[in-house]
Structure 1
Amino acid sequence: MKKLFFILLLLYLCSGCGFKDIDKRFFVVSIGIDKSEKKDMKYRVSLKLAVPGNSLDLGTAQYEIITQDANSITEGVRLLKSKVDKEIDFGHAKIIIFGQSFLKDNGINATDWFNRRRDIQLVAWVAVGQPTAEAVLGTKIPHERLPGNSLLLSFGKTGVESGYVISEYLFNFFRKKKELGLDPILPVVESANNHFTINTAIVFDKERAKLTLSSNETRLFNIIKASINKVEIEAPFQESKFFVSVDNIRSSYRVRVPSSGHPYVDMHIKMSGVIEESALGILDPNQLTVYEKAVTQSVQEKIVRLLKKFQDNRLDPLGFGLDYRAHHFGTIKEEWQTWQSLYPELEFRVRVEMKLEGVGVIK
């Protein structure tokens, strides 16, 4: 009798719990935040909901996008729940897109909601959407098997490996917002004609977008960070040029503050690859050292120009300030004030080592 009473009590308690069956849930795969077009509203929240299907064929990914204007993300999500017949589940949300116009007007403080929610994964990818986050979420990719899978393959490098794609996790983006000496940078996802283009990036200070990088500057940033191994480099040579396919990159740097003389960044980058294309015609395999020198000089000059551009805009997406603080002791306030006075005077001493393994199949 006691055993039966105990079982009935457990059933009664479980009947009031928040568990919902999988067929009573909508799984959010992507979240978009835009600037509302309504004057009395601040946010336009978009959720991309995966619609289950029985096929994984190309182009069969089914989804639904619901949107809501509100003055907070919390309010927007609550109102969105009134538009669907199932519980909204954020456990599979791996893509967070901020509209470019929204970030321009409101800064990057909207990430507070994402970091506080326990059901939002901190390993979600964060990016900027152009023209809007809603447009990016609504892009119908003809070859997509699962909703939102194209961006996951791009950022996670499990699919394409491109030297133009910068990947940023939510937790790392949030850390860069708070960390003194390291500024946030996000990739730009441009949506047009049923496909994505990801080859530029935006650098932020602790609040707002400050600098947009071109595709070539984005590629150089990836080379400096050595965040990807496969990248292509153009090198001028004898009033013409050739192109190198790099398949291995190693990078290191250290901020040096000598007792006498100017402070400087000592940066060392090692690369190896093969010549993939040439406008010179026939290349001599015995002249590899000459070709290596041409690549080295060209890359060094371009990297120094990019670093000075960051310096002129008082931006530090590479974390030079963090490296300085890690090797100099004092209070946080003293370290930061000293670094702010040093950074504008910093010199950049870049050494690039290029190892060419061949000139391709055609000699």
Structure 2
Amino acid sequence: MKKWLIILLLLCLFLCLCGGCGFKDIDKRFFVVSIGIDKSEKKDMKYRISLKLAVPGSSLDYSSAQYELITQDANSITEGVRLLKSKVDKELDFGHAKIIIFGYSFLKENGINELDWLNRRRDIQLVSWVAVGQPSAEAVLGTKISHERMPGNSLLLSFGKTGVESGYVVSEYLFNFYRKKKELGLDPILPIVESANNHFTINTAVVFDKKNPRLTLNPSETRLFNIMKASINKVEIGAPYQGSKFFVSVDNINSNYHIRTPKNGPAYVDMHIKMRGVIEESALGSLEIEHLPQYEAAICQHIQEKIVLLLKKLRDNKLDPLAFGLKYRSHHFGTVEEEWRTWQALYPELEFRVGVEMKLEGVGVIK
């Protein structure tokens, strides 16, 4: 009896406490599914905040993915959100905000110092996806995708790889982006989402130093970055052969590297990449199964050369999105300042030795 009495008293206490906690029924809330942060066009304002609000439909057909896009200029994100609340008749709920888009022009001017609000809010999920919007975050959020069943679902399927699996898409969580902003020896990288003609294109990425966007990777470089990170398993690779080209569909990638600092030679990165796939297209005409070793050697040499060029490009721009510096620091002991100072002196002279192993399982169904 005492047990049930205690439970009843606790339940009454809970109900009393929650009576004034501002709880709202689900029909009195707007669920924010995407957040956009742009540079304001007004001279006396810093931000242009965009919120994409899901409007519930009666079914899950393609016509039910209705949304409302509201925007507000302000000098702080907090102020902008408070002003946006005056434009709707329901409470804004950020618990379902899984996409955060920064406008490219905003990042060029302000860098990535504007993560404080996103990380302090307890209702913003740290597993939200972060990306760069082109021409603006507002344009990306306002793109009407005809086949969407839920507002903002197209980007979720792209970044989460639960839908399309593309070798050109770099995915980044908010918590990991914030970590890379602070971590010595690891620079942030974000995908660029281009909006045009009512569809998205995601095949490039931008690499940051600890503050500003420094280098934009083209589609080929973005694909090579994903191969080195082994963050994908499916990618298409082309290679020249006997004055023509053939293309391989890769379905498995493994990558690892070590930083070597020999006493009698220069420091270098020893990177090994293993791939497995099948020839998908060829401009050579018929391909012979007994010539697979030559085809494998051609693709390995081509990829090795391209990867070394990209690594040197990142090194020469003093960027390290592959965490070479972090790897070096993890294997050397000393104070943080000493480790970082040593790595900064070492990185500009670092060499790259890349080994690629390709296993071709066939030449397709054409004999």
Interval containing the TM-score (normalised by the shorter chain): over 0.9
Shift of 1:6: 10
Aligned counterpart, 1:278: 282
Shift of 1:250: 0.1
Structure 1 position 343 matched with structure 2 position 347: yes
Q: Against the structure 1 CA distance between its residues 167 and 7, is the aligned structure 2 distance closer, same or farther, given a 3 Å change threshold?
A: closer
Shift of 1:111: 1.2
Aligned counterpart, 2:5: none
Structure 1 position 230 matched with structure 2 position 234: yes
Q: What are structure 1's unaligned runs of at least 5 residues?
A: none
Q: 2:141 aligns with which of 137, 140, 147?
A: 137
Structure 1 position 30 matched with structure 2 position 18: no
Q: 2:202 aligns with which of 195, 198, 204?
A: 198
Q: Against the structure 1 CA distance between its residues 8 and 112, is the aligned structure 2 distance closer, same or farther, given a 3 Å change threshold?
A: closer
Shift of 1:60: 2.4
CA distances 1:234-262 after superposition (whole Å, capped 9, x unpaired): 11000001000000000000111111110
Question: Which amino acid in structure 2 is aligned with residue 32 of structure 1?
Answer: G
CA distances 1:204-237 after superposition (whole Å, capped 9, x unpaired): 0000000000000000000000000000001100
Question: Which amino acid in structure 2 is aligned with residue 211 of structure 1?
Answer: L
Aligned counterpart, 1:93: 97
**Cα distance in 2 between the residues matched to 1:161 and 1:10:** 46
Shift of 1:66: 0.6
**Cα distance in 2 between the residues matched to 1:320 and 1:258:** 16
Q: Against the structure 1 CA distance between its residues 166 and 9, is the aligned structure 2 distance closer, same or farther, given a 3 Å change threshold?
A: closer
Q: 1:21 aligns with which of 7, 14, 25?
A: 25
Q: Percent identity?
A: 80
| Partner-residue secondary structure (3-state), 1:109 | coil
Shift of 1:15: 3.0
CA distances 1:307-340 after superposition (whole Å, capped 9, x unpaired): 0000110000000000000001110000000000
Shift of 1:9: 7.7
TM-score where L is the length of structure 1: 0.97
Q: Following superposition of structure 1 onto structure 2, how do residues 54-93 of structure 1 map, counting pairs within 5 Å?
A: 54-93=58-97
Aligned counterpart, 2:44: 40
Aligned counterpart, 1:159: 163
TM-score where L is the length of structure 2: 0.96
Structure 1 position 110 matched with structure 2 position 117: no
Q: 1:301 aligns with which of 305, 314, 324?
A: 305
Q: Against the structure 1 CA distance between its residues 17 and 305, is the aligned structure 2 distance closer, same or farther, given a 3 Å change threshold?
A: same
Shift of 1:59: 3.5
Aligned counterpart, 1:249: 253
**Cα distance in 1 between the residues matched to 2:50 and 2:78:** 12
**Cα distance in 1 between the residues matched to 2:265 and 2:18:** 72
Shift of 1:10: 6.9
Q: What are structure 2's unaligned runs of at least 5 residues?
A: 1-7
Question: Which amino acid in structure 1 is aligned with residue 183 of structure 2?
Answer: E
Question: Which amino acid in structure 1 is aligned with residue 151 of structure 2?
Answer: P
Structure 1 position 50 matched with structure 2 position 54: yes
Q: Against the structure 1 CA distance between its residues 279 and 19, is the aligned structure 2 distance closer, same or farther, given a 3 Å change threshold?
A: same
Question: Which amino acid in structure 1 is aligned with residue 41 of structure 2?
Answer: E
Shift of 1:12: 5.4
Q: Following superposition of structure 1 onto structure 2, how do residues 172-187 of structure 1 map, counting pairs within 5 Å?
A: 172-187=176-191
CA distances 1:264-322 after superposition (whole Å, capped 9, x unpaired): 00000000000000000000000000000000000000000000000110000000000
Q: Following superposition of structure 1 onto structure 2, how do residues 329-340 of structure 1 map, counting pairs within 5 Å?
A: 329-340=333-344
CA contact (8 A) 1:191 1:197 kept: yes
**Cα distance in 1 between the residues matched to 2:182 and 2:238:** 37
| Partner-residue secondary structure (3-state), 2:115 | helix
Q: Against the structure 1 CA distance between its residues 305 and 82, is the aligned structure 2 distance closer, same or farther, given a 3 Å change threshold?
A: same
**Cα distance in 1 between the residues matched to 2:279 and 2:127:** 37
**Cα distance in 2 between the residues matched to 1:249 and 1:347:** 23
**Cα distance in 1 between the residues matched to 2:10 and 2:228:** 64
| Partner-residue secondary structure (3-state), 1:110 | coil
CA root-mean-square deviation: 1.6
Question: Which amino acid in structure 2 is aligned with residue 160 of structure 1?
Answer: V
CA contact (8 A) 1:59 1:141 kept: no
Q: Against the structure 1 CA distance between its residues 282 and 26, is the aligned structure 2 distance closer, same or farther, given a 3 Å change threshold?
A: same
